[in-house]
Amino acid sequence: MSEAFEIVKTGIDFFCNHLVFFNMLFAIVIVFFQRRDPKSVWAWLLLLYFIPVLGFVFYLLLGQDMHKRKMFRIKEVEDHISKDIRQQEYRLRSRDVQELDENIRGYEDLVMYNLEAGEAMLTKDNDVDIFIDGNEKFRALMEDLRNAEHFIHIQYYIIKNDVLFNQIKDILIEKAAQGVEVRVLFDAMGCRSVRHSYWKWLNEKGVQTAEFFPAILRRLQLRINYRNHRKIVVVDNKVAYVGGFNVGKEYIDLDEKFGHWRDTHLRICGSAVLGLQVRFILDWNYAAGENLFLRPELFRGIEAGTRDFCDLQIISSGPDKTTQQIHDNYLRLINKAQKSIYIQTPYFIPDEAILNALMIAVKSGIEVNIMIPCMPDHPFVYWATYSYLGDMVMAGANCYTYNNGFLHSKGMIVDDRVLCYGTANMDIRSFALNFEVNAVIYDEKKAWEMVEIFHRDLEVCRQITRDYYTGRNLKIRIKEQVCRLLSPLL
């Protein structure tokens, strides 16, 4: 026993004696070998210098910029999908009248960018239902799951083994027993509260499961910085879901801490379903080590919508991409705005480009409205959010806190014509580090529907005026400044 103690003590002494060397080594890596934002570089250097022990640990957990090509070996979509994309690009470049309908007129450059940067097909035959209440969303989802005949693909960042997933789980097991292929993809960090034995039990019941970025040990996760934040469900290629709701009792208003959970989720029928199916399969192939692109039947059965006929693109971002597509979409939409911008986000930590674009919009006479929660679920992130919101308040934007529970909705509406909603928050983490997916909808009716929802939300909001913001106490000011300093790391 004493010998083991001496070995541990020797190891600790060695670590402490060489801590400065390790921190210098990491500093060299950060400055010279990784392409980072200068603010992020300075934040890490200050942390390593002033808090060496914690800085070292935080860098191991949060700071690694793993090489993208080595880390993510994702197979390209089948050749015929790429061929369709090239054909659509050609029609857009030649201003084909069939492509340039009224819905996308004025946004051709954004459509083209999404095609070029993310192979996001523009589809024109989509029905879109908007859910802002978790109970309604999950009732519709479970009904679609019960109607599945061929396959069910489910992907969530958070799945909790509680009353909500118990209902979903029973349906999945029943459908698997009927011969339906059921796959559940979950993030290791988001689902860390669920024991591995539970997923193994589901596998035994016929439900295939895969874990995205599993921890090396149960509580040791060295890839905490890269999380799969996507929430996708695809059923038989007939219907798909994407949005902000995860799976847990808080999302159906059963958690006293948060009360009412206000989120936004989309139910899509039409050709855009294929974009979400491809996105799920790319992630599944990586996590499960399979190649479902060898199963062509998984890409059939797409049915056109019959009601809304929305123009829609599915866009995604993540460490596997060389461009920050969702970030660039938001930036382009802000820059193209002529009348109004509506933003809802639980975390508002924009980079300099987004922040400057919003401020320029305000000073150009464009109505900019931003809504955040009134309560934190992550205190550091919340106070950083409040600090950046203060910048927008002082610039003249209309800024609000949602006071009827917790606001988790993530999206933007521009000029009552285009909306971009999905899983991505308006923060640096969603733009650069997390795996995210959003739907860009070019449709005035759906945009108006979301604007009306925003205005209904205003009835339970508090406006943050300049007088209110400048009157905050010293304690809040200190919280904001400290958290803002750390915002590149959050």
SS3 490: coil
Of the candidates 153, 160, 169, 231, the residue annotated as catalytic is 231
- Residue 150 known to be catalytic: no
CB 415 within 8 A of CB 377: no
CB 389 within 8 A of CB 464: yes
Of the candidates 137, 153, 160, 229, the residue annotated as catalytic is 229
Angle at 192 between CA 187 and CA 194, to 5 degrees: 105
Nearest Cα to Cα of residue 314 among 66, 99, 156, 118: 118
Q: Are strands 411-414 and 406-407 parallel, antiparallel or unpaired?
A: unpaired
CA distances (Å), 104 to each of 81, 119, 129, in order?
A: 22, 17, 20
User: How buried is residue 344: exposed, middle or buried, by Cβ count under 10 Å (0-12/13-18/19+)?
Assistant: buried
- Residue 39 known to be catalytic: no
- Residue 196 known to be catalytic: no
Of the candidates 137, 410, 446, 479, the residue annotated as catalytic is 410
- What is the DSSP-derived secondary structure letter of residue 220? B
Amino acid in position 263 = D
User: How buried is residue 442: exposed, middle or buried, by Cβ count under 10 Å (0-12/13-18/19+)?
Assistant: buried
- Residue 427 known to be catalytic: no
Of the candidates 124, 265, 408, 479, the residue annotated as catalytic is 408
- Residue 229 known to be catalytic: yes
Of the candidates 236, 311, 328, 351, the residue annotated as catalytic is 236
- Residue 475 known to be catalytic: no
CB 234 within 8 A of CB 155: no
Of the candidates 187, 308, 415, 457, the residue annotated as catalytic is 415
Which two three-digit tokens encode residue 170?
A: 């029973």
Residues marked active site are found at: 229, 231, 236, 408, 410, 415
